[in-house]
Copies of this chain bind each other. A is one copy, B any other.
Amino acid sequence: MNTKKNISVCFTADQFEKYADGKSTVVVVDVLRATSVISTAFMQGVQVIIPVQNLDEALEYKGKEGCIVAAERNAKPIEGFDYGNSPFHYINADVAGKTLVLTTTNGTKAIYYAKEHKVLTASYINIEAVAQHLIEEHNDVIILCSGWKGVFNLEDPIFAGSLAKLLLETGSYESNCDSLFASMQLLKSADGNLFTYLSDSSHRKRLKSLNMEDDTRFCLSPPVKSDIIPILKDGKLVVL
């Protein structure tokens, strides 16, 4: 079969039901920072990541053997949790072989909404590996941007543009989706300099005000790449 497969981009987690079809592969994106943290944690040897929806649920795992719990709300870490939503929390940390329980403002919600589909998570750390897997699989793809509390953010659609570009270049995909077109245009406008382009974006400013510029740089232009593709199995992210 040489039929072209479809790619669409959903701009916020809350809108996912408009795109859900029960059969596409869903790539969840929360570049700043949840899916970048997920890539980083797996690179550092975390074995399983359990994305949960609320702080109470996360705290139930606290103290359980082999578990670390991490939480973020409004970009800030939460008292009482082992880790936050910064990739730097996981680098050179004692996380190998452990189960990470993670709850964030937007990213973990997006994963939850898509859970009836095949769900992968992507960031600039593993974008090439994810693209390669999608191309080999040759299924319809929904790129699910996490957004910010139900509204459009700039960084996730730009990432969606980067990922869609890799897929469309193969000639095996097509799209009739205005949000994909817009994502590709925004990527083009950014002209290779995401950090500067996002200067006026709401979340870069939010992270800047919290002295988290290093996180932003790391997530937009990661110093290392990873072949690890996180996939959701029975509500848990594992390495594909």
For A149, the chain B residues whose CB sits under 8 A away are 18
Q: Which residue of B has the minimal Cβ distance to A190?
A: B185
Q: Measured between alpha carbons, how far is A19 from B185 in the docked complex, in Å?
A: 25
For A19, the chain B residues whose CB sits under 8 A away are 151
Q: Which residue of B has the minimal Cβ distance to A203?
A: B178
> Would A177 and B202 be within 8 Å (CB), given that A12-B15, A151-B15, A185-B185 are in contact?
yes
Whether, in the assembled complex, A196 has its beta carbon less than 8 Å from a beta carbon of chain B, the answer is no
Q: Contact between B189 and A185 (Cβ–Cβ < 8 Å)?
A: yes
Q: Tell me the residues in window 153-208 of chain A with beta carbons closer than 8 Å to chain B beta carbons.
A: 153-154, 157, 176-179, 181-182, 185-186, 188-189, 200-203, 205
For A14, the chain B residues whose CB sits under 8 A away are 15
For A153, the chain B residues whose CB sits under 8 A away are 178
> Would A15 and B182 be within 8 Å (CB), given that A176-B205, A189-B188, A189-B189 are in contact?
no
Q: Measured between alpha carbons, how far is A190 from B84 in the docked complex, in Å?
A: 41
Q: Contact between A182 and B152 (Cβ–Cβ < 8 Å)?
A: yes
Among B150, B152, B182, point to the contact of A154 (Cβ < 8 A).
B182
Q: Which residue of B has the minimal Cβ distance to A204?
A: B178
Q: Contact between B176 and A186 (Cβ–Cβ < 8 Å)?
A: no
Whether, in the assembled complex, A83 has its beta carbon less than 8 Å from a beta carbon of chain B, the answer is no
Q: Measured between alpha carbons, how far is A18 from B153 in the docked complex, in Å?
A: 13
Q: Contact between B202 and A178 (Cβ–Cβ < 8 Å)?
A: yes
What does the 1/0 interface line of A202-239 toward B look like (CB < 8 Å)? 11010000000000000000000000000000000000
> Would A11 and B152 be within 8 Å (CB), given that A176-B202, A189-B188 are in contact?
yes
Q: Contact between B177 and A186 (Cβ–Cβ < 8 Å)?
A: no
Q: Which residue of B has the minimal Cβ distance to A156?
A: B178
For A179, the chain B residues whose CB sits under 8 A away are 151-152
